[in-house]
A and B are shown apart, each in its own frame.
Chain A
């Protein structure tokens, strides 16, 4: 039985994962934090914390709030910067068998390209996830992800700057995610991941003010799952590249739904905070499910729920 998938089949050496279960950016640090608790080498891939050219302090606190079946966050891309990442983290990853993708965010197209260039020479980096979807920063982030022209421009610049597999992470905070997806794929993305968080807010009725320090934040967790699933279903029909489904996946059943909606792989995010072993449990669960169903290759079920004439 095979769980293996390739997220950059058009590229040599591709982005081959031993299984389709990844952990999402911002929920797994640099991979090392969970190493004592989770057998991280079993994971399909790890996507590290969103990384900028220079270190970032992030947003004021409070930065998170729980909502019904969801988590609202406005961390604001606090991170160590790409040079420290290459110096301190990538050498650790180079010794791992699990592929690590670096999620990158720039304040301009040039900055995205520069980060990609710096990562291109780093051992231990298996690929780049281009974050054109962070809702919690003023410059860059989601502002490029809501405009097909800008999103394509950033994608093309990153594509030009590196030979690494390039996956672009899309924001759901748009009218038509398919048009953004098509533009980004047209600009050379090897794969797409969707979705990032939905912009939301919460008000503290005692202070009569927004609870989060940054006023708004991004909503993740099971609360967003049906919307994320619908978007994956739409995008998977429209683009020829692998789509990675993200948004409220907590268990094998929800992972299977995204695969059947056309996702070649999935990412587990917020659920890791609830149970750090969620991704590992889903890997086991997918294997068991395939065996029960008598299916020998996970790729057979990818897109099983898509319209047959698509």
Chain B
């Protein structure tokens, strides 16, 4: 893990208020694992003060069409920090700290993975899709959002991924919550990975409980989001209750086994 000034290679508005930021950051590209994140300094002044934790979306050595020294981030404009990031241009530099946290763990025997994304929870799951494809694992990615302009268009995903989308307002794909799309794939997958708002977890837990009653226990990993200050495991802002007591999302996670954070 290092602090580095990454070079902005491109910054593209890919949908609505969502930007794809491609960066040259050789050490991070070399060391990062899917599910890890970087702490990004959005500006150079005292406001916004803190770094922003942002999932690594693509890791160059594994991502088709990327150079080995590249990483990508996906930014949605929400506040002042993300607004500054959305204005970065080719040739600018961006102060990064990373890679941080514990990422997804793809088991050696896994052949089929189901990725379930709510909103920008999609970002780290694409890095995992790249990794899975490199290991000849079949990938289904279910992406949901409030509305069409919050859905990452398929041309930004590896072509091997089977991509299904849904929106809460029905403006693109099926209408409803992304978790509604899960059930048929839960029968199919060897491993499931979930990233998105906390509200996604109860329906997933219910579906897994039904599955477990049929004798099938599916390993599920979930990437959690929490307010962070340091990103290094120091400040204890981002703690979450687990079966083994309070854990830090930034250092012990952000990826946890679902059984660690939810009972089913």
**A30-38, A155-163, A231-239 - the one binding chain B:** A30-38
Contacts of B49 in A (CB 8 A): 66, 69-71, 221-222, 270, 274
Given A68-B47, A69-B46, A270-B49, CB of A275 within 8 Å of CB of B234 = no
Q: Tell whether, in the assembled complex, residue A75 and residue B236 are in contact, meaning their CB atoms are under 8 Å apart.
A: yes
Q: Is B218 an interface residue (CB 8 A)?
A: no
Q: Tell whether, in the assembled complex, residue A275 and residue B1 are in contact, meaning their CB atoms are under 8 Å apart.
A: no
* CB-contacts of A266-282 with B (<8 A): 270, 272-277
Contacts of B234 in A (CB 8 A): 27-29, 33-34, 273
Q: Tell whether, in the assembled complex, residue B3 and residue A276 are in contact, meaning their CB atoms are under 8 Å apart.
A: yes
* CB-contacts of B219-239 with A (<8 A): 226-239
Q: Which residue of B lies closest to A66 (CB)?
A: B50
Q: Is B51 an interface residue (CB 8 A)?
A: yes
Q: Tell whether, in the assembled complex, residue A33 and residue B233 are in contact, meaning their CB atoms are under 8 Å apart.
A: yes
Q: Is B246 an interface residue (CB 8 A)?
A: yes
Q: In whole angstroms, how far apart are the Cα atoms of A57 and B228 in the complex?
A: 17
Q: In whole angstroms, how far apart are the Cα atoms of A221 and B46 in the complex?
A: 9
Contact of A61 among B1, B41, B48, B227 (CB under 8 A): B227
Q: Is A131 an interface residue (CB 8 A)?
A: no
Q: In whole angstroms, how far apart are the Cα atoms of A273 and B46 in the complex?
A: 12
Q: Which residue of B lies closest to A30 (CB)?
A: B234
Say whether chain A's binding surface is mostly helix, strand, loop, or mixed: loop
Q: Is B134 an interface residue (CB 8 A)?
A: no
Q: Is B97 an interface residue (CB 8 A)?
A: yes
Q: Tell whether, in the assembled complex, residue A273 and residue B236 are in contact, meaning their CB atoms are under 8 Å apart.
A: no
Q: Tell whether, in the assembled complex, residue A58 and residue B246 are in contact, meaning their CB atoms are under 8 Å apart.
A: yes
Say whether chain B's binding surface is mostly helix, strand, loop, or mixed: loop
Contact of A78 among B1, B227, B246 (CB under 8 A): B246
Q: In whole angstroms, how far apart are the Cα atoms of A270 and B50 in the complex?
A: 9
Min CB distance B102 to A, Å, is 15
Q: Is A19 an interface residue (CB 8 A)?
A: no
Q: In whole angstroms, how far apart are the Cα atoms of A70 and B47 in the complex?
A: 8
Q: Is B13 an interface residue (CB 8 A)?
A: no
Given A61-B239, A78-B246, A276-B232, CB of A250 within 8 Å of CB of B51 = no
Q: Is A64 an interface residue (CB 8 A)?
A: yes
Q: Is B84 an interface residue (CB 8 A)?
A: no
Specify which of B3, B238, B239 lies most central, judged by the most chain A CB atoms within 10 Å of its CB: B239
Specify which of B3, B50, B97, B226 lies most central, judged by the most chain A CB atoms within 10 Å of its CB: B50
Q: Tell whether, in the assembled complex, residue A57 and residue B50 are in contact, meaning their CB atoms are under 8 Å apart.
A: no
Q: Which residue of A lies closest to B237 (CB)?
A: A64
Contacts of A68 in B (CB 8 A): 47
Range class of the A interface residue count:
20 to 34
Contacts of A69 in B (CB 8 A): 46-47, 49
Q: Is A62 an interface residue (CB 8 A)?
A: yes
Q: Is A26 an interface residue (CB 8 A)?
A: yes
Q: Which residue of B lies closest to A277 (CB)?
A: B3
Given A29-B234, A276-B97, A277-B3, CB of A71 within 8 Å of CB of B246 = no
Contact of B236 among A28, A37, A58, A275 (CB under 8 A): A58
Q: Tell whether, in the assembled complex, residue B226 and residue A61 are in contact, meaning their CB atoms are under 8 Å apart.
A: yes
Q: Tell whether, in the assembled complex, residue A75 and residue B246 are in contact, meaning their CB atoms are under 8 Å apart.
A: no
Q: Is A65 an interface residue (CB 8 A)?
A: yes
* CB-contacts of B39-91 with A (<8 A): 41, 46-51
Q: Tell whether, in the assembled complex, residue A273 and residue B229 are in contact, meaning their CB atoms are under 8 Å apart.
A: yes
Contacts of A37 in B (CB 8 A): 1-3, 97, 232
Given A63-B227, A273-B229, CB of A250 within 8 Å of CB of B237 = no
Contacts of B3 in A (CB 8 A): 37, 275-277
Min CB distance B220 to A, Å, is 23
Q: Tell whether, in the assembled complex, residue A63 and residue B237 are in contact, meaning their CB atoms are under 8 Å apart.
A: yes
Q: Is A73 an interface residue (CB 8 A)?
A: yes
Contacts of A57 in B (CB 8 A): 246
Q: Which residue of B lies closest to A34 (CB)?
A: B232
Contacts of A221 in B (CB 8 A): 46, 49
Q: Tell whether, in the assembled complex, residue A274 and residue B235 are in contact, meaning their CB atoms are under 8 Å apart.
A: no
Q: In whole angstroms, how far apart are the Cα atoms of A62 and B235 in the complex?
A: 12
| 14 A-B residue pairs with CB within 8 Å | A27-B230, A29-B232, A29-B234, A49-B236, A64-B235, A66-B48, A66-B49, A71-B49, A73-B235, A75-B235, A222-B49, A250-B46, A273-B235, A275-B3
Chain B positions near chain A (C-beta within 8 angstroms): 1-3, 41, 46-51, 97, 226-240, 246, 251
